[in-house]
């Protein structure tokens, strides 16, 4: 039985690698200009390995490229191991940017910190965490701020730089709650950023919901500045756009290319097979 398990594990691992390399050519992406800004596509809620995601930062960078993204944030729950690997990635001028971050996770809220250089411990309130994010030079984004979280009162929504308003959420109830939270935040802060995120762990495609950013420079600094200024448009998996109406119209007029990989399910299947194969061989 152990021998059979190892054989099946090896076959699964080989199959996963083989499927993952099908049509593996990485596309070249041309940056888009809109007036004085570059328009970038980003996903700021992405989980990685080691941590609570299945793909390493290296693999995520390639997957982001296939997904038509220019920038992603690596944001594991209350952990900062995977983001420390980002500086070790080989230089590639054509690859998407990876920005370190964390999903600060508390029973009353989840908050995405983007552009920080160390782990932030959960605190009793969102404003306390947002203040620490700002002290470290990052931006604070309310993660799926629906009614399931008691921590997103008006004081909390006034403290964040952006809220997730666009997601690939199957339940209409939650989609409405995310939109309502964004509208509340916008009344408190007219410049709050509209954010679209995938909350990628392993199965849902990276960038199925995304954020379009109007940046003055295509850099991590430019990305963070655009979020702080609210120069963003959130796009969900249905193509709905959220944010400042003038920016929404600019995105519609010059929509950046989306996913170039026509078979994302192959990528997901390859990951599952590879992990199952590796586990079987170890056991």
Same structural domain, 163 and 276: no
Same structural domain, 255 and 192: yes
Q: What pLDDT does residue 9 have? A: 44
Q: How large is the average pLDDT for residues 231-256? A: 94
pLDDT at 21 over 80: no
pTM of the predicted model, to two decimals?
A: 0.84
Same structural domain, 13 and 48: no
How far is residue 35's CA from residue 252's CA, in Å, rounded to a whole number? 14
pLDDT at 276 over 60: no
User: What angle, rounded to 10 degrees, do the helices at 57-66 and 264-282 form?
Assistant: 160
Same structural domain, 70 and 10: no
Same structural domain, 121 and 9: no
Q: How large is the average pLDDT for residues 203-226? A: 95
Query: What is the tally of structural domains in the chain?
Result: 2
Which structural domain range is residue 13 located in? 1-23+264-283
Q: What pLDDT does residue 266 have? A: 58
How far is residue 71's CA from residue 66's CA, in Å, rounded to a whole number? 12
Same structural domain, 105 and 169: yes
Tokens describing residue 11: 């076959």
Same structural domain, 244 and 269: no
Query: pLDDT by residue (tens digit) across 74-105?
Result: 999 999 999 999 999 998 988 999 999 999 99
Residue 82's φ and ψ, nearest 5 degrees, are -60, -40
The CATH number assigned to the domain holding 185 equals 3.20.20.140
In sequence order, the β-bridge partners of residue 212 are: 41, 233
Decide: residue 93, CB within 10 A, 0-12 exposed, 13-18 middle, 19+ buried.
Answer: exposed
Same structural domain, 100 and 218: yes
Same structural domain, 7 and 56: no
Same structural domain, 114 and 19: no
Q: What pLDDT does residue 275 have? A: 45
% residues pLDDT > 70 (the chain):
81
pLDDT at 240 over 80: yes
Same structural domain, 77 and 180: yes
Query: pLDDT by residue (tens digit) across 157-192?
Result: 999 999 999 999 989 999 999 999 999 999 999 999
- 56 C-beta neighbours (distance < 10 Å), count: 17
């Amino acid at each position: 039985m152990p021998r059979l398990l190892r054989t099946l594990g090896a076959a699964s691992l080989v199959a996963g690698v083989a499927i993952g390399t099908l049509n593996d050519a990485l596309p070249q992406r041309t940056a888009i200009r809109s007036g004085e800004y570059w328009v970038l596509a980003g996903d700021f809620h992405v989980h990685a390995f080691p941590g609570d995601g299945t793909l390493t930062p290296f693999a995520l960078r390639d997957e982001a490229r296939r997904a038509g993204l220019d920038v992603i944030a690596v944001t594991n729950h209350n952990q900062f191991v995977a983001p420390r690997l980002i500086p070790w990635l080989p230089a590639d001028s054509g690859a998407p940017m990876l920005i370190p971050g964390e999903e600060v996770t508390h029973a009353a809220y989840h908050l995405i910190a983007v552009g920080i250089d160390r782990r932030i411990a959960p605190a009793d309130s969102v404003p306390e965490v947002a203040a620490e994010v700002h002290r470290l030079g990052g931006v604070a984004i309310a993660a799926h701020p629906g009614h399931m979280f008691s921590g997103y009162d008006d004081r909390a929504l006034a403290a964040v730089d952006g809220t997730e308003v666009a997601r690939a959420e199957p339940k209409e109830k939650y989609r409405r709650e995310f939109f309502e939270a964004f509208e509340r935040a916008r009344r408190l802060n007219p410049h709050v950023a509209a954010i679209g995120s995938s909350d990628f762990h392993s199965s849902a495609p990276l960038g199925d919901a995304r954020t379009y950013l109007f940046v003055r420079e295509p850099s991590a600094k430019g990305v963070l500045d655009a979020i702080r200024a609210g120069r963003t448009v959130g796009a969900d998996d249905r193509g709905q756009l959220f944010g400042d109406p003038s920016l929404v119209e600019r995105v519609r007029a010059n929509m950046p290319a989306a996913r170039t990989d026509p078979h994302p399910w192959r990528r997901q299947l390859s990951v599952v097979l590879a992990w199952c194969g590796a586990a079987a061989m170890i056991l």
